[in-house]
Amino acid sequence: MFSNYCLRLTLVLVCFCGFSFTQATAQLVNTGDDFHDKLIQFGSGPLGGSFEPIANTLCDSFNEARKKTSIRCIPIRTAGSVFNIHAVANGSLQLALAQEDLISEALTDAKGENSLRAVALMHNSFVGILVRRMSGITELSQINRGIVNVGKKGSGTYLNAMSVLKALDLDESDLAGVRFFDNSDFETAFCEGNVDVFFNAIAHPSDLYKRLRACGGEFLDIPDDIIKKLMAQNSSLKQMNIPAGIYGPEQKIVKTLGMRNLLISNKDIDETAIFRFTNLLYEKYKSLQKKQPYLESMRLLLKEDINSLALPLHPGALRAIEFSKQ
């Protein structure tokens, strides 16, 4: 009797589980949720830069819509653009932020470069060169007199600094001193007088620049001839100005260069995952700009922008563009 009861109970459980599994499978197929890459590891940047808060804002917003997208986004703090480019190319990260001007320079392996795809246009970053007023350096051509922080070797900041030095016909050995502080350390070094000049490339307005100007820093203009040299070296660089007055009434307009930042992925990341992520970006565009001031210069990618990108567009992103026009 007991064995008959167990047999009946087992049959009921098997039927119930079979029904539940069949129902769940049917729901999965019917809702179109049978796709890969539902867990997105999102490469951001180092502490103190603009990439990390942007990635945090994007992931928070997308996780709020997880029931709709079936995607979970996890922001990963990284060393910045160069690391992100390589990590996405080798599949370690599914999405990441990267300076557009560094993509071709950071990847010399054609196979790796061909695996990268653009997903969206993000914000603009400006090359910022700050000097301590007490150093007596008033022009870019004079930076060899000071101790210059060129950023951590292999970082985007370092590559930007090397490009500027090359355009000035200078080498590291021509400088009075060279430091390799990353974003988390150079602020203290600058404000304590251990660094006279530093390079950076972040969005504006920036609390970092406010603090650095408060402890004696001032922007240097990039002369027109150096701007032309740098743009000739890298077509992704554009002439941009830091507006006057955003760091106080006495701050003048700063002539410099800037670059677009891209959201990048790998060609092998599921098209549905990229479509849902990009489509939600289009839907939340205005609210994201309100949540994150660094995204003020972000604009939606249009079909006519595709040919201007440093990378081919991911098919999922193209679907999102076409879907947004419906």
Domain count for the chain, please give it: 2
Amino acid at 5: Y
Q: Both 45 and 101 in a single domain?
A: yes
Q: Does one domain contain both 180 and 108? A: no
Number of C-beta neighbours around residue 44 at 10 A: 25
CATH number at residue 306: 3.40.190.10
Least confident piece of the model among 13-22, 133-142, 150-159, 203-212: 13-22
Q: Are residues 132 and 154 in the same domain?
A: yes
Q: Is residue 251 part of a domain?
A: yes
Indicate whether 70 and 106 sit together in one domain.
Answer: yes
Q: Looking at the predicted structure, is the pLDDT value of residue 119 above 90?
A: yes
Q: What are the start-end ranges of the H helices in 94-252?
A: 103-106, 110-115, 156-167, 183-191, 207-214, 224-233
**pLDDT (average), residues 155-164:** 88
184 and 265 belong to one structural domain: no
pTM of the model: 0.79
Q: Are residues 156 and 211 in the same domain?
A: yes
The answer to whether position 145 is within a domain reads: yes
Residue-wise pLDDT for 54-76, tens only, equals 999 999 999 999 999 999 999 99
User: Does residue 251 share a domain with residue 140?
Assistant: yes
Residues 154, 73 share a domain: no
27 lies in some domain: no
* Bridge partners, 199 (sequence order): 129
Same domain, 195 and 300: no
Q: Within a domain: residue 13?
A: no
In a domain, 17, yes or no: no
What are the E-state strand segments in 168-326? 177-179, 197-202, 217-219, 238-242, 254-266
Q: pLDDT band for position 276 (50/70/90)?
A: very high
- Note whether residue 10 is domain-resident: no
Domain boundary among 209, 227, 259: 259
Separation CA 196–CA 57 (nearest Å): 33
Cα gap 206→142, rounded to integer Å: 26
What separation in angstroms does the CA of 187 have from each of 142, 199, 232, 319? 21, 11, 31, 43
Residue of 144 and 109 predicted with greater confidence? 144
Q: Out of 238, 259, 280, pick the residue that ends a domain.
A: 259
Residue 26 has pLDDT above 60, yes or no: no
Domain closes at, from 221, 240, 259: 259
At 90, the pLDDT band (50, 70, 90 cuts) reads very high
Contacts of 242 (CB under 8 A, 6+ apart): 126, 128, 204, 219, 253, 254, 256
Q: Is residue 18 a part of any domain in this protein?
A: no
Q: Which residues, at least 6 apart from 283, have a Cβ–Cβ distance to it below 8 Å?
A: none
- What does the alpha-carbon distance between residue 205 and residue 297 come to, in Å, rounded to a whole number? 11
> According to DSSP H, which parts of 182-312 are helical?
183-191, 207-214, 224-233, 271-283, 285-291
The CA-CA-CA angle for residues 285, 88, 284, to 5°, reads 10
Residue 238 lies in domain: 125-259
* 204 and 246 assigned to the same domain: yes
As a whole number, mean pLDDT of residues 192-211 equals 90
